[in-house]
């Protein structure tokens, strides 16, 4: 027991020996949360749009007005020359062009179904799809208004209503991607800090020869492992609190659920990153190698976590692989606690999965570590 105390004390002395570690602990989360939180957005706003109004009637103007008042669109101009419309899309001055045909108003009044032409820049398929959705909405509202004010239609017809949905989005009513992304970033920071510190910390001792020196002392390898884990988990927990602080200061996003539960779940997650770090240290001889291997694992953990790419969109085989990824569960848990205030009862499946994989990974790594040390 006392040996472990001395190991932990030594580790903390080394970590805080120079200022660089403190800088890493504070600056990494600050930059990541600030930049990624603002940059990673799936919101589609300010879609640049160019109009060609060949009709120039009250009806067409009313139609255009609906775009003017929408926060999703930004009108960049009106073009008279049809042949020049495509140049707007080519140069990126607009990503959307709408052509209102001549006799738009007349056709509507005569109930002759006018056709509107849409030209969409489809390079970014996702944004194109989203903007199309917005346009459909606007057209539908316009149509409803036409029906309502049509003098020729009987009251009976006017009162016919199609089935309509009126969605209310819970937990994130404005569908801000920030709210969704930011808890994920906290998970990433925790992953990066604990994984890199552990693997590099152990390999460094291998490199300078102190690990060999420790192995000729009566110290047992499990004590050595514990002596490494304790300081790094404390740092991890510290890091998560620093990150949550920044998230609150920068975005005003606070934890809806129990802070204690969040820390508890985080500690389970940390077991897996420490385990992976120990494993990496057993297959690397130099810090560069450890860095490279840690990077390799990190990329997979992040890409297969559902942070950027929704897991439901992945091929079934890959979806099954993501089940082995503790980060996948941890991100879900963080989002749930952060945004919904979900209680432990509803997080049991994720927690169990995380406990299982974390402990398996951890013990496999420790076994390998002990075997390697002989």
Partner 1 sequence: METDKAVSVSKLSRHFGKFIAVDEISFEVNRGEIFGFLGANGAGKTTAIKMLCGLLKPTSGEATVAGFSINSETAKIKKNIGYMSQKFSLYDDLTVKENIEFYGGIYGLSREKISGKTDQLISELNLDKMKNSLTKSLPLGWKQRLALSTSLLHDPSIIFLDEPTGGVDPISRRNFWRIIYEIAGSGKTVFVTTHYMDEAEYCNRISIMHKGKIIELGTPTGLKQKYNKTTMQDIFIHIVGRN
Q: Which of 86, 159, 210, 356 is the binder for partner 1 (CB under 8 A)?
A: 210
Q: Which of 25, 44, 55, 72 is nearest to 235 (CA)?
A: 25
Measured CA to CA, the distance from residue 304 to residue 83 in angstroms comes to 46
* Phi–psi pair at 118, nearest 5 degrees: -115, 130
Q: Which of 218, 252, 315, 316 is the binder for partner 1 (CB under 8 A)?
A: 218
Rg for the chain, CA atoms, rounded: 29
13 lies in the binding site for partner 1 (CB under 8 A): yes
Say which residues have a Cβ less than 8 Å from residue 48's Cβ, sequence separation at least 6.
74, 76, 93, 94, 95, 96
Q: Which of 132, 219, 241, 367 is the binder for partner 1 (CB under 8 A)?
A: 219
CA distances from 325 to 194, 273, 332 (A): 16, 11, 12
Q: Which of 39, 155, 216, 317 is the binder for partner 1 (CB under 8 A)?
A: 216
374 lies in the binding site for partner 1 (CB under 8 A): yes
Closest to partner 1 by CB, 13 or 158 = 13
Span from 116-124, 137-145, 194-202, 214-222 in contact with partner 1 (CB under 8 A): 214-222
Q: What is the DSSP string of 72-118?
A: TEEEEEE-S-GGGHHHHHHHTS-SEEEEEPTTHHHHHHTT-----EE
Measured CA to CA, the distance from residue 372 to residue 213 in angstroms comes to 15
3-state secondary structure (DSSP) of residue 47: strand
Closest to partner 1 by CB, 17 or 112 = 17
CB 281 within 8 A of CB 202: yes
84 lies in the binding site for partner 1 (CB under 8 A): no
Contact string (CB under 8 A) for partner 1, positions 303-332, x = contact: ------------------------------
For residue 258, the minimal CB distance to partner 1 (Å) is: 38
Q: What is the token pair recorded at 324?
A: 């082995």
Say which residues have a Cβ less than 8 Å from residue 302's Cβ, sequence separation at least 6.
188, 191, 308, 327
3 lies in the binding site for partner 1 (CB under 8 A): yes
Q: Which of 111, 154, 165, 217 is the binder for partner 1 (CB under 8 A)?
A: 217
Within 10 angstroms of residue 125's Cβ, the number of other Cβ atoms is: 8
Contact string (CB under 8 A) for partner 1, positions 153-192, x = contact: ----------------------------------------
For residue 2, the minimal CB distance to partner 1 (Å) is: 6
Q: Which of 43, 62, 212, 346 is the binder for partner 1 (CB under 8 A)?
A: 212
Taking CB under 8 A as the criterion, which residues in 17-46 touch partner 1? Answer: 17-18
Closest to partner 1 by CB, 134 or 369 = 369
Contact string (CB under 8 A) for partner 1, positions 190-209, x = contact: ------------------xx
Q: Which of 65, 213, 286, 288 is the binder for partner 1 (CB under 8 A)?
A: 213
125 lies in the binding site for partner 1 (CB under 8 A): no
* Phi–psi pair at 171, nearest 5 degrees: 70, -30
Measured CA to CA, the distance from residue 129 to residue 120 in angstroms comes to 9
**Size of the residue set binding partner 1 (CB under 8 A):** 24
CB 212 within 8 A of CB 224: no
CB 117 within 8 A of CB 125: no
Q: Which of 109, 139, 153, 214 is the binder for partner 1 (CB under 8 A)?
A: 214
Span from 85-93, 169-177, 216-224, 351-359 in contact with partner 1 (CB under 8 A): 216-224
For residue 286, the minimal CB distance to partner 1 (Å) is: 14
Binding site for partner 1 (CB under 8 A): 2-3, 5-7, 9-10, 13-14, 17-18, 208-210, 212-220, 374
């Amino acid at each position: 027991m006392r040996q472990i105390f001395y190991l932990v004390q030594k580790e903390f002395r080394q970590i805080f020996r120079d200022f660089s570690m403190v800088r890493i602990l504070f600056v990494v989360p600050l930059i990541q949360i600030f930049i990624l939180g603002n940059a990673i957005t799936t919101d589609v706003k300010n879609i640049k749009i160019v109009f060609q109004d060949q009709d120039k009637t009250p009806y067409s103007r009313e139609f255009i007005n609906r775009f003017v008042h929408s926060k999703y669109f930004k009108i960049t101009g009106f073009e008279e020359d049809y042949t020049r419309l495509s140049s707007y899309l080519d140069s990126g001055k607009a990503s959307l062009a709408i052509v209102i045909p001549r006799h738009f108003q007349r056709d509507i009044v005569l109930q002759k179904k006018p056709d509107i032409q849409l030209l969409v820049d489809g390079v970014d398929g996702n944004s194109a799809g989203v903007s199309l959705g917005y346009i459909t909405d606007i057209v539908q509202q316009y149509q409803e208004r036409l029906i309502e004010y049509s003098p020729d239609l009987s009251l009976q017809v006017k009162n016919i209503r199609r089935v309509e949905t009126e969605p209310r989005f819970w937990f994130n009513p404005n569908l801000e991607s920030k709210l969704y992304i930011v808890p994920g970033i906290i998970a990433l920071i925790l992953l990066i800090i604990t994984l890199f510190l552990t693997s590099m910390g152990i390999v460094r001792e291998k490199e300078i020869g102190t690990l060999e020196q420790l192995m000729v002392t009566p110290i047992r390898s499990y004590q050595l492992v514990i002596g490494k884990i304790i300081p790094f988990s404390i740092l991890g927990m510290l890091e998560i609190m620093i990150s949550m602080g920044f998230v609150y200061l920068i975005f005003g996003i606070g934890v809806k659920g129990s802070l204690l539960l969040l820390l508890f779940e985080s500690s389970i997650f940390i077991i897996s990153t420490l385990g992976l770090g120990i494993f990496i240290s057993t297959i690397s001889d130099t810090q560069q190698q450890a860095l490279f291997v840690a990077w390799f694992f990190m990329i997979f953990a992040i890409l297969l976590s559902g942070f950027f790419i929704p897991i439901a969109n992945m091929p079934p085989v890959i979806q099954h692989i993501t089940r082995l990824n503790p980060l996948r569960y941890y991100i879900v848990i963080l989002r749930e606690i952060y945004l919904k205030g979900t209680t432990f009862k509803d997080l049991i499946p994720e927690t169990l999965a995380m406990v299982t994989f974390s402990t398996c990974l951890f013990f496999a790594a420790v076994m390998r570590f002990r075997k390697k040390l002989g």
